[in-house]
Amino acid sequence: MGAIARRITRVITAVVCVAVSVGVSVATLHVPTREGGGERFNPARYRSDVIADTVINHTTGVDKTQGTGTAGSPYDNKGYFPEAGYTPSDFHAPCSIWTYRDAESVWNCQVSGLQDLDTSSPHVRDVLSDYFVKLLDYGVAGFRVDAVKHMPPEDVLAIKKLVAKKSGRSMNDIWWTQEVIGDNAEAAEIQPRNYLKTGQVNEFQYAYRLKSLFSNSLAGGSLSIKDIPQNITDSGKASVFVTNWDTERNNMTLTYKDGDAYRLANAFMLAYPYGAPNVFSGYEFHDTDSGASGATATSVPDIDCSKDSGWSCTERWPDVHGMVGWHNVAGDAPLSDWQDDGDNMIAFGRGGRAFIAINNSVRTRTVTYHTALPAGEYCDVYASADCSGSVHVRFDGDATLTVPAGSAVAFHIAATPYTVRQ
């Protein structure tokens, strides 16, 4: 089940957009997959836009001579995928990536034994662009593209251009974010900056830095969290996250198992003006290859957000839900009124629209902060959705906040005791 099972997740992006990982069968471009058919892409099902997680660099790994995909389509270990329209000539010759310091090896050899498509081939590009157009016709709003650094940038760009042409859309109208794990020790040609013409890139360094900062000191180390975007992808091209279905299993990022630190990192990501934030919602796991509860070789159950179901349903947590609203109200307002204690207590605003104080320490703190918000009473949206926690901003803009250990206080101009009662 492994990697495919792990993609049964949701990612809530900036203005609440659900990424539903229902993708292509490894043996065909047909839907259904284990997660269901075309109806799974219908935005009305989720009352939100849908982003599809797509894998186009490779098909399946084959540990036997022949196999049959979830949709009933045959394939073999020589590169015959008849229902997808692939023959052996559509794949690179089998080879293993011998070093990530050589771009040609990364682009033309197999990732973990997975049959590597030749994305420079006009036929392969045609098949893949048809796949994207089919998903757009189902109703998806855009795509997260997997393993992008394993394809030359010009190939990925050419495929997206074909998608735009065939679908009658402009390139900018197709939301497109790419998994490109940057590492300065690797070849220059496969770094995230090379893929920015096609769309956003997942900024993994941001997630790694969040783990380090929330595990140690937010403002007292060599890198303050205020400067977290330093020397990484420009904000307008960065897609950021606290964790995803891969990194939560390799100990590189914070996960639900980190408790308060994980919640606070999500709050910071939604509050700080950098990148397009993605809130990951998955399920409890006990080992690297754990699949979703109830998943089989042919099906995956619907997400269950009831208590003790095993699904995290992160976007429904009151603090995360409140911070998504906070993020949307803050909009494009600039970072303002930064204040910290040189360690694990930070606070900042977004102009006159919103303010947050984060306490990553082990004791409750009461601090007076200056804000740019108008005087008045506000709801603490991190604490609850019913305004059971409130904040008073004085006429001079100051607010005295009591922030519990491992928690935050967050408020904005659209959530007041009056508006919540309406």
| Antiparallel, parallel or unpaired: β 66-68 and 74-76 | antiparallel
Q: How many domains does the chain have?
A: 2
Asked if 357 and 298 sit in the same domain, the reply is no
In a domain, 324, yes or no: no
126-152 confidence digits (pLDDT tens): 999 999 999 999 999 999 999 999 999
In a domain, 329, yes or no: no
179 catalytic, yes or no?
A: yes
189 catalytic, yes or no?
A: no
Asked if 358 and 409 sit in the same domain, the reply is yes
In a domain, 147, yes or no: yes
264-291 confidence digits (pLDDT tens): 999 999 999 999 999 999 898 888 888 8
Asked if 287 and 351 sit in the same domain, the reply is no
Asked if 307 and 195 sit in the same domain, the reply is yes
Give the CATH number of the domain where residue 368 resides: 2.60.40.1180
Asked if 294 and 345 sit in the same domain, the reply is no
DSSP code string of 244-260: -TTGGGTTSS--GGGTH
pTM (2 d.p.): 0.91
Give the CATH number of the domain where residue 177 resides: 3.20.20.80
Options 179, 248, 315, 340, the catalytic residue: 179
Asked if 339 and 307 sit in the same domain, the reply is no
In a domain, 7, yes or no: yes
Domain that holds residue 347: 335-421
Asked if 42 and 103 sit in the same domain, the reply is yes
**147 vs 109: CA distance, rounded Å:** 13
Asked if 299 and 392 sit in the same domain, the reply is no
In a domain, 6, yes or no: yes
What are the φ/ψ torsions at residue 79 (nearest 5 degrees)?
105, 15
What is the DSSP-derived secondary structure letter of residue 333? P
Asked if 303 and 354 sit in the same domain, the reply is no
**What number of other Cβ atoms are within 10 A of residue 304's Cβ?**
15
Joined together, the tokens standing for residue 225 give: 């969290």
Options 35, 146, 319, 340, the catalytic residue: 146
In a domain, 140, yes or no: yes
72-116 confidence digits (pLDDT tens): 788 888 888 888 889 999 999 999 999 999 999 999 999 999 999
In a domain, 278, yes or no: no
Asked if 293 and 384 sit in the same domain, the reply is no
**178 vs 49: CA distance, rounded Å:** 18
- Are 369 and 337 in contact by the 8 Å Cβ rule? The answer is yes
